[in-house]
């Protein structure tokens, strides 16, 4: 062998090695023994032209079915079949393009153990969800507050819009506090990478769905948090966004084809009115603008009708469950998605994980509109398979009017009764996630005029009504905030940062009102945890009379009487009016005070009592 030939071969080997390092795979890995044996791998290299590339796969049990090319030569995709015989390991890919031969590997991993027991368990009305924003909850690892190379280098707790440094380690440090509220489940705003120039604290502008935000601690911290939750018998909900990406997502900045996004001649925003989706008289123009219009300029609308996009979103959800042990999904901006695509995506998840639970953010006008987007009893051409929704109708059309409006024929607590009466529209109303506030709206204490009696009533209702209760971090200690702008309802949890003068985790520096309210919520949580009637029992409500609203939660073992007095005067309560549920009972016990209650008693104005009946 002459020296000239040796030099040429050495140079070629170096070229192949460098090229292989530039290859990106989406999904970044997959798993053996999945029920669905097909996976579509999107291959990307910004320093290559794959326009006419050929792809070979050499691995036992992995069969290459098809190869797809795109107008953007940075991409090629490979449809694979992962056969039953395939073992975990490094799958060899050979990509031939323009005289280059690139050897690279893609990883197949073992599946998680404990399906339906340690992960993918789903949710039910036995659960209670604690919802928080990692950036604003607790800073457990200051070393990741800033990450070199990311576009947003802000760190300023004095600003309501900049990053504050909270992370997943901070959340893990305080699971005992969360569990003491009666919570069984943790839901956080999205934890995937948001490499945007600003407003990155909320997480809803993903730039890589297969990367966990490094400023939260990255993949390792997320896995550790998931494991810690499951060891404590708790569950993990992942907030996921199918409707849009962040403007700096690689699939926006360097899209495989133009039709991966909904494109318009000029910027076109959604009009946010969901009625045009189901209105029998709607125009196609209005429907298109609702679904295909962009949410904001910073959040380009994803074209879910593109089969490659649908596959990308579906596989990412499945990958997330298998990688991080997810138990359920909350889907952001669900009403803006293509509902047919969502049905297929939901089905794909359920086919792989029969217990998985998905609830959507359907911020809509009225119960009928809300029911349209979930499993329902409506006789319509489109039938949703979404398990549940965040129950905006019960918040805005029910509990808020009940506590804020003057009672008359149409207003006040009658709206709460009426809204619940429409539950016949749902297949399973008990699946709906009920709540008092969240990261987009005014906190409940502010919504109720900072009235502690009203806020206590709201929480007593939340812990006893049908559905899956959801708490928003900090509202259990009377945190205030009006959502104009939204940063005011996303303030730091006191005690989450070293040096905080007030610490709700240790109860140091808190006011007597804050302590009293926290202990009130904890008492409700403890009682709900051990009372099946509140979690899975039936519900019966009676027509309100002059602001007095009474409902029951009950099963074979226990009956709980919930008495809400929204009147301005003390009201008398007599068991004889509620004989269907109170017969055979001689009184009860107030679960907050522990005091015994007779069959006739008075309840003060703006008060709610939760009473366990006693024979």
- Dist. CA 318–CA 320, nearest whole Å: 5
Instruction: Indicate the SS3 state at residue 569.
Output: coil
Tokens of 373: 């987007």
Peptide bond into 490 cis (omega under 30): no
Nearest to 483 by CA among 160, 206, 152: 160
Nearest to 101 by CA among 18, 34, 44: 18
pLDDT band for position 99 (cuts 50, 70, 90):
confident
Residues paired with residue 187 on neighbouring β-strands, in sequence order: 131, 237
Query: Per-residue pLDDT tens for 413-428?
Result: 999 999 999 999 999 9
Query: Per-residue pLDDT tens for 516-563?
Result: 999 999 999 999 999 999 999 999 999 999 999 999 999 999 999 999
Position 17 pLDDT exceeds 60: no
Query: Per-residue pLDDT tens for 346-361?
Result: 999 999 999 999 999 9
Span 198-215, average pLDDT: 97
Q: What percentage of residues in the chain have a pLDDT greater than 70?
A: 97
- Dist. CA 381–CA 428, nearest whole Å: 20
What is the dihedral sign for C-alpha 402, 565, 591, 577? negative
pLDDT of amino acid 434? 98
* Strand extents, DSSP E, 171-214: 185-188, 192-193, 208-212
**Strand order across the beta sheet in which 388-389 lies:** 388-389, 357-360, 328-332, 235-241, 185-188, 129-132, 468-472, 433-435
Peptide bond into 485 cis (omega under 30): yes
Query: Per-residue pLDDT tens for 256-303?
Result: 999 999 999 999 999 999 999 999 999 999 999 999 999 999 999 999
Catalytic residue positions, numbered: 332, 361
Span 16-43, average pLDDT: 87
Instruction: Indicate the SS3 state at residue 259.
Output: helix
Q: Give the angle subtended at the CA of 377 by the CAs of 375 and 380, to the nearest 5°.
A: 90
Count of Cβ atoms closer than 10 Å to residue 378 Cβ: 15
Instruction: Indicate the SS3 state at residue 421.
Output: helix
Nearest to 80 by CA among 88, 69, 68, 70: 68
Residue 94, H or E segment: strand 89-97
Nearest to 387 by CA among 437, 353, 438, 421: 353
Residue 14, H or E segment: helix 3-21
Position 13 pLDDT exceeds 50: no
* pLDDT, mean over the chain: 96
DSSP string, 353-404: -TT-EEEE----SSHHHHHHTSSB----S------EEB-HHHIIIIIHHHHH
CB 262 within 8 A of CB 212: no
pLDDT of amino acid 19? 52
The whole-model pTM stands at 0.96
CB 333 within 8 A of CB 239: no
Q: What percentage of residues in the chain have a pLDDT greater than 90?
A: 96
User: What phi and psi values does residue 531 have, to the nearest 5 degrees?
Assistant: -120, 100
378 Cα distance to chain centroid: 26
Position 213 pLDDT exceeds 60: yes
Span 112-134, average pLDDT: 97
pLDDT band for position 98 (cuts 50, 70, 90):
confident
| Interstrand relation of 192-193 and 208-212 (parallel, antiparallel or unpaired) | antiparallel
CB 376 within 8 A of CB 368: no
Position 121 pLDDT exceeds 80: yes
Domains (ranges, CATH) in the chain?
3-109 (2.60.40.10), 129-371+430-535 (3.20.20.80), 372-390+392-429 (no CATH), 540-614 (2.60.40.1180)
pLDDT of amino acid 100? 85
CB 575 within 8 A of CB 525: no
Position 18 pLDDT exceeds 50: no
Instruction: Indicate the SS3 state at residue 77.
Output: strand
Query: Per-residue pLDDT tens for 541-550?
Result: 999 999 999 9
CB 319 within 8 A of CB 30: yes
pLDDT of amino acid 4? 36
pLDDT of amino acid 579? 97
Tokens of 281: 């008289």
pLDDT of amino acid 20? 63
Helices and strands per DSSP (H, E), number in the chain:
19, 26
Count of Cβ atoms closer than 10 Å to residue 29 Cβ: 17
Position 430 pLDDT exceeds 50: yes
Nearest to 358 by CA among 284, 468, 457, 441: 468
Nearest to 221 by CA among 143, 157, 152: 143
- Dist. CA 142–CA 32, nearest whole Å: 37
pLDDT of amino acid 7? 34
Residue listed under structure tokens 């109708």: 393
């Amino acid at each position: 062998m002459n020296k000239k030939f040796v030099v040429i071969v050495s140079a070629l080997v170096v070229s192949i090695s460098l090229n292989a390092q530039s290859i990106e795979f989406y999904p970044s890995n997959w798993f053996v023994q999945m029920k669905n044996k097909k996976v579509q791998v999107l291959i990307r290299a910004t320093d290559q032209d794959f326009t006419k590339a050929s792809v070979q796969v050499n691995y036992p049990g992995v069969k290459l079915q098809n190869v797809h090319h795109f107008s953007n030569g940075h991409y090629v995709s490979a449809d694979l079949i992962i056969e039953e015989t395939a073992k975990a390991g490094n799958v060899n890919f050979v990509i031939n393009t323009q005289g280059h031969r690139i050897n690279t590997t893609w990883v197949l991993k073992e599946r998680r153990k404990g399906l339906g027991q340690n992960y993918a368990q789903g949710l039910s009305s036995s659960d209670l969800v604690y919802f928080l924003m990692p950036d604003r909850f607790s800073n457990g690892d200051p070393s990741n507050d800033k990450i070199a190379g990311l576009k947003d280098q802000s760190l300023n707790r004095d600003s309501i819009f900049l990053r504050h440094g909270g992370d997943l380690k901070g959340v893990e440090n305080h699971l005992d506090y969360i569990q003491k509220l009666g919570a069984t489940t943790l839901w956080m705003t999205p934890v995937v990478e948001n490499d945007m120039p600003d407003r990155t604290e909320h997480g809803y502008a993903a730039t890589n769905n297969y990367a966990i935000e490094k400023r939260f601690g990255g993949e390792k911290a997320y896995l550790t948090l998931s494991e810690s939750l499951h060891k404590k018998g708790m569950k993990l909900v992942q907030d996921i966004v199918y409707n849009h990406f962040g403007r700096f997502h690689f699939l926006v900045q360097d899209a495989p084809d133009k039709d991966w996004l909904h494109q318009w001649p000029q910027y076109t925003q959604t009009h946010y009115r969901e009625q045009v989706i189901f209105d029998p008289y709607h125009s196609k123009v209005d429907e298109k603008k609702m679904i295909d219009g962009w949410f904001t300029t910073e959040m380009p609308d994803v074209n879910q009708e593109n089969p490659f996009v649908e596959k990308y979103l579906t596989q990412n959800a499945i990958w997330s469950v298998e990688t991080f042990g997810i138990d359920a999904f909350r889907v952001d901006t669900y009403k803006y998605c293509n509902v047919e695509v969502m049905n297929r995506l939901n089905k794909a998840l359920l086919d792989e994980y029969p217990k998985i639970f998905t609830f959507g953010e359907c911020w809509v006008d009225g119960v009928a509109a809300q029911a349209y987007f979930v499993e329902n009893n409506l006789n319509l051409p489109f039938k949703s398979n979404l398990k549940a929704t965040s129950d905006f109708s019960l918040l805005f059309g029910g509990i808020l009017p009940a506590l804020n409006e003057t009672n008359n024929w149409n207003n006040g607590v009658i709206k709460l009764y009426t809204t619940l009466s429409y539950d016949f529209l749902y297949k399973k109303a008990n699946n709906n996630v009920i709540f008092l506030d969240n990261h987009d709206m005014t906190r409940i204490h502010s919504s109720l005029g900072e009235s502690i009696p009203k806020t206590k009533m709201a929480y007593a209702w939340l812990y006893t009504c049908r559905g899956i209760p959801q708490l928003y971090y900090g509202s259990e200690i009377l945190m205030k905030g009006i959502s104009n702008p939204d940063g005011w309802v996303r303030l730091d949890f006191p005690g989450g940062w070293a040096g905080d003068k007030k610490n709700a985790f240790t109860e140091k520096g808190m006011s007597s009102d804050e302590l009293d309210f926290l202990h009130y919520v904890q008492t409700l949580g403890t009682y709900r945890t051990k009372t099946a009637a509140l979690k899975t029992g039936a519900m019966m409500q009676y027509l309100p009379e002059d602001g007095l609203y009474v409902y029951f939660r009950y099963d074979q073992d226990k009956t709980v009487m919930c008495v809400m007095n929204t009147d301005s005067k003390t009201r008398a309560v007599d068991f004889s009016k509620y004989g269907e549920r109170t017969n055979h009972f001689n009184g009860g016990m107030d679960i907050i005070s522990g005091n015994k209650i007779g069959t006739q008693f008075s309840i003060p104005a703006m008060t709610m009592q939760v009473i366990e009946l006693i024979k």
